[in-house]
Chain A
Amino acid sequence: MQRIGVFVCHCGSNIAATVDVKKVAEMALMEPGVVHSEDYQYMCSEAGQAKIAAAIHEKGLTGVVVCSCSPRMHETTFRKAAERAGLNPYMVEIANIREHCSWIHKDIEEGTKKAVILMRAAVAKVNLNAPLQAGESRVTKRALVIGGGIAGIQTALDIADAGYEVDIVEKTPSIGGRMSQLDKTFPTLDCSACILTPKMVEASAHEKIKIYTYSEVEKVSGFVGDFMVDIRKKARSVDMDKCTGCGVCQEKCPSKKAPSEFNRGLNTRSAIYTPFAQAIPNVPVIDREACIKFKTGKCGLCSKVCQAGAIDYDQQDEIITEKYGAIVVATGFDTINLDKYDEYAYSQSKDVITSLELERVMNAAGPTHGHLERLSDGKAPKEIVFIQCVGSRCSDDRGKPYCSKICCMYTAKHAMLIRDKYPDVNVTVFYIDVRTPGKNFDEFYRRAVEQYGVNYIKGQVGKVIPQPDGKLLVQGSDLLDNRQILKEADMVVLATAIEPNPDVRKIATMLTASIDTNNFLTEAHAKLRPVESPTAGIFLSGVCQGPKDIPETVAQAGAAAVKAIGLLAKDKLLTNPCTAQSDILLCNGCSTCENVCPYGAITYEDKEVNDHGIRETRRVAVVNNALCQGCGACTVACPSGAMDLQGFSNRQIIAEVDAICR
């Protein structure tokens, strides 16, 4: 029989205001095995911990239940306190009477009742607890960064500078990401490429960084410190070692009708292409869908003109398997699809464009070589209307409920740049609010209004109607003047909401990293662990975690790198002793557990068993404790109950349920 001590925390008034803590402590004494109980204002304080230690010594406790906050907050604290007092740390259980009880109840009677029930369940569990010992696992001193935008590049550079190997996996043919598509950056208006390309070059030249472009993560297994990743290197059809990047193939390629991804489909590119001039690596890829050689078997011009003999039509996808200690997700964002916002006539008029498309229009390497012109007729616009929050802060399911955060600033930037370069163009911005909380941000916005005379109208646009003469009739409201506005414009620019890269769902699933309802990756703690995923060894960099501008992205990228470095710097990690075990006498050998194990921790062996005198060889499940992460999937899938999880045994869970239902 265990000798259990129950310690009830007030958490100031957090718990004590809604739970009669004295009553909980009093009721605990009636539970089987409980020999001691007390309540205290802050159990997590040194004085509180000392009370636990004293009771362990004085009452000879073999188990401890702390009724307090979520185990995610202080389980470690109390386990360490118990360990210092000579108890096995896994003999400590937390009854969460704060998040699960006091914070969500108002009635003290109800709250107390529930707190008592939660306490009972924890006591029932401790009664069946057994001491456990943590093992050790090794750390592979190499990091993987998924995504080669500014977030991924910065994270990789920071990790590499600390002396660890880093691989970047980038889906597109070049690193650079969204930032490479931008023309100028707020609030300093420096050229995006000018500040990004040195970083790209640095990453590609860094001896510790290996870059896999035109590649995707295909499979992830393993766990923190020891991930095994399959990377699919898609067939480039160009030999990276031979290609000199001269570009002749792209000039000669007769198929030039594929929409340019880099220019957001505003112009076309050749079938063999590098996405942009500063691409890294400067090795083209053949778009097999567009290539005449791949479609008809005839052509082969690129191969004929290539002096280096780098064209390889037979190249196959290659799977590279590599081990990593840490994985950083930096998958970035895209703009949302505007199909549901047809009132803005995006699909009807070429002169209604997104802000990201405007970036390309304004850029010297863009479809108009940097001239501001209407994409329908090439004429210079005289009236431009910007519409803010297209799909952001949306209350219905057409758009996103969140603020995309960057649109107010880039719209001010666009407006300012246009007014600066084309002073005869009138610029009007329809906005809900202008949000400029950042260093030098509000000053920047005010400059747009005060110095550059951008016309800001508080109100939303209801409709954009293309006119027969090619103009766009913008119908909006001015909330400050309380009037309807009908305005003719030559161009309309939509500040389209951003969303996480759609691939992130697949990646999150492979990594068993959680995502929220908007597909942003979830942090381990919104405030205190913002760059870590709840899944150990997975870190978050950039917009995959939430909307951010470049400085914030770079800052977070560095933070993610630091967390990854902190992990890689360790030689060994303590493993969770709560692993599964198979009872060979009960095991059917059916492989169900092997099928559901996400960690590949279960194998089958033929073992000699002695089942009550019957000696025979049976095919039975064997768990590799170094690989098992204690997720428990096998224990629920096992039909015969042969699989059990130490620290969360089937019996313990039933005991908890029984205690709750009593």
Chain B
Amino acid sequence: MQELINRAKELLADGTVARVLGWKAGDLPYNPEPAYFETAEAMEDFVYNGFCGANLSKYMIEASRLEGKTLVCLKPCDTYSFNQLIKEHRVDREKAYIVGVGCKGKLDIEKVKKQGIKGIESIGGAEIADEAETLTIQTIYGEKTCAYADVMLERCHVCKGKDHMVYDEIIGESKETKDAERFDEVARIEAMSPQEKFAFFQKELSKCIRCNACRNACPACSCRKCVFDSNKFDSSQKANVDTFEEKMFHIIRAFHVAGRCTDCGECSRVCPQGIPLHLFNRKFIKDIDELYGEYQAGEDTDSKAPLTNYTFEDAEPSIVGKRG
């Protein structure tokens, strides 16, 4: 982290960048939050650790409109989102100085709590300077430990890899944390009967409180004005009509980001109700892979996405129809 801070200060000092986009400590040991730093002094509050899950790509839409370059810290998986935003002309590559930060898997505090660890005062081992194998947690009930891998975010178990897709320089080591198959959970749901599927999503989505956290965090949900906030359409009214329509919000959202979602997992990470929202997006990705060949949104900035491109080899509608 210190190397990162030093380098950022250097770039601020020589005028390469006008500000740094990173994380600062939150009010708890495990909730750092995205923040801008404009001076070397301000950089004292800068943190980067295992709890810095937030994908900063989306903040670059705003930062692209600011005067001067912004140094942005992007983890390997965040760079996919950044590329996708370049492809959609939402961010300006020239306005970004991308520091690819090392990542050894990001942590899910809910998983820590599920292990019965409560009253947390401080957490050691999240600094990811070492191999990131054990967390040592000081609680009001004494010291507890847990394995780093056991409390990682779901997305890190299906990690896309430790390579940054776009960067100006890389600071810090990354580790591939993949130990599960990305589409296993989707396949399990696909195997359910329609009634079971409906019951599953009914149960999950009924927890939704429409706080819009998923939408606000999602780098693909970057419309100037969301259809749910506009009176030009009837989507918002429809989404509010009754409890079933309420769930339409998530379905419509999944359709809107289909083919553009990089599977960054922010939607599920930020959901205060723990709804596995990424499953919708991942179902679309799985279908796209199967019908049109493997495609990873954000892998590059110029390829044509399968859903907005036409080739003679495209699956016939009848084949798509038969899949149900």
> Do these two chains really belong together in a complex?
yes
Q: Which A residues have a C-beta under 8 Å from some C-beta of B? A: 505-506, 509, 583, 585-592, 595-596, 598, 604, 611, 616, 619, 637, 639-641, 650-651, 654, 658
Provided the pairs A585-B225, A641-B227 are in contact, do residues A596 and B308 lie with their beta carbons within 8 angstroms? yes
A591 to B224, CA, bound (A): 14
Q: Which B residues have a C-beta under 8 Å from some C-beta of A? A: 65, 87-90, 222-227, 230, 232-235, 238, 256-257, 260, 304-305, 307-310, 312
| Cβ–Cβ contact B312 & A641, under 8 A | no
A604 to B222, CA, bound (A): 18
Contact pick for B227, options A590, A591, A640, CB 8 Å: A640
| Cβ–Cβ contact A590 & B224, under 8 A | no
Contact pick for A641, options B65, B89, B232, B257, CB 8 Å: B232
| Cβ–Cβ contact B226 & A640, under 8 A | yes
Taking CB atoms, residues of chain B closer than 8 Å to A586 are: 223-225, 230, 232
A595 to B304, CA, bound (A): 8
Interface of B is mostly: loop
- The A-B contact count (CB < 8 A) is 63
Provided the pairs A506-B312, A592-B308 are in contact, do residues A585 and B224 lie with their beta carbons within 8 angstroms? yes
- Which one of A591, A639, A650 has the greatest number of beta carbons of chain B within 10 Å? A639
A514 to B234, CA, bound (A): 34
Supplied contacts A586-B232, A592-B88, A641-B233, 20 more A-B pairs, CB within 8 Å: A505-B312, A509-B312, A583-B232, A586-B225, A587-B224, A588-B90, A589-B88, A590-B89, A591-B89, A592-B308, A595-B304, A596-B308, A598-B310, A616-B65, A639-B256, A641-B230, A641-B235, A654-B234, A654-B238, A658-B234
Across the A-B interface, give the 10 residue pairs with the lowest CB-CB distance, nearest first.
A590-B88, A640-B223, A595-B308, A639-B256, A641-B227, A589-B89, A596-B308, A654-B234, A586-B225, A641-B233
A586 to B226, CA, bound (A): 9
A490 to chain B, nearest CB (A): 44
Taking CB atoms, residues of chain A closer than 8 Å to B260 are: 639
Taking CB atoms, residues of chain B closer than 8 Å to A589 are: 88-90
A125 to chain B, nearest CB (A): 14
Contact pick for B309, options A587, A591, A595, A619, CB 8 Å: A595
| Cβ–Cβ contact A588 & B222, under 8 A | yes
Interface of A is mostly: mixed
Taking CB atoms, residues of chain B closer than 8 Å to A591 are: 87-89
- Which one of A505, A509, A616 has the greatest number of beta carbons of chain B within 10 Å? A509
B170 to chain A, nearest CB (A): 28
A594 to B305, CA, bound (A): 13
A619 to chain B, nearest CB (A): 6
A505 to B89, CA, bound (A): 35
Taking CB atoms, residues of chain A closer than 8 Å to B232 are: 583, 586, 641, 651
Taking CB atoms, residues of chain A closer than 8 Å to B310 are: 598
Provided the pairs A592-B308, A595-B309, A596-B308 are in contact, do residues A640 and B88 lie with their beta carbons within 8 angstroms? no
A639 to B308, CA, bound (A): 12
A586 to B88, CA, bound (A): 15
| Cβ–Cβ contact B223 & A639, under 8 A | yes
B250 to chain A, nearest CB (A): 15
B319 to chain A, nearest CB (A): 14
| Cβ–Cβ contact A654 & B233, under 8 A | yes
| Cβ–Cβ contact B308 & A651, under 8 A | no
| Cβ–Cβ contact A619 & B89, under 8 A | yes
CB-based nearest A residue for B260 = A639
CB-based nearest B residue for A587 = B224
Provided the pairs A590-B88, A590-B90, A654-B234 are in contact, do residues A640 and B308 lie with their beta carbons within 8 angstroms? no
A589 to B87, CA, bound (A): 10
A257 to chain B, nearest CB (A): 32
A596 to B307, CA, bound (A): 9
- Which one of B223, B235, B256, B307 has the greatest number of beta carbons of chain A within 10 Å? B223
B284 to chain A, nearest CB (A): 14
Taking CB atoms, residues of chain A closer than 8 Å to B238 are: 654
B20 to chain A, nearest CB (A): 24
A595 to B87, CA, bound (A): 11
Jot down 23 A-B pairs with beta carbons below 8 A, ordered by A.
A583-B232, A586-B223, A586-B225, A588-B222, A589-B90, A590-B88, A590-B89, A591-B89, A592-B308, A595-B305, A598-B310, A604-B89, A611-B224, A616-B65, A639-B256, A639-B257, A640-B224, A641-B227, A641-B232, A641-B235, A651-B233, A651-B234, A654-B238
A589 to chain B, nearest CB (A): 5
A583 to B225, CA, bound (A): 11
A592 to B225, CA, bound (A): 16
Taking CB atoms, residues of chain A closer than 8 Å to B308 are: 592, 595-596, 637
Taking CB atoms, residues of chain B closer than 8 Å to A588 are: 88-90, 222-224
- Which one of B224, B227, B305, B307 has the greatest number of beta carbons of chain A within 10 Å? B224
A509 to B232, CA, bound (A): 35
Taking CB atoms, residues of chain A closer than 8 Å to B222 are: 588
A615 to chain B, nearest CB (A): 12
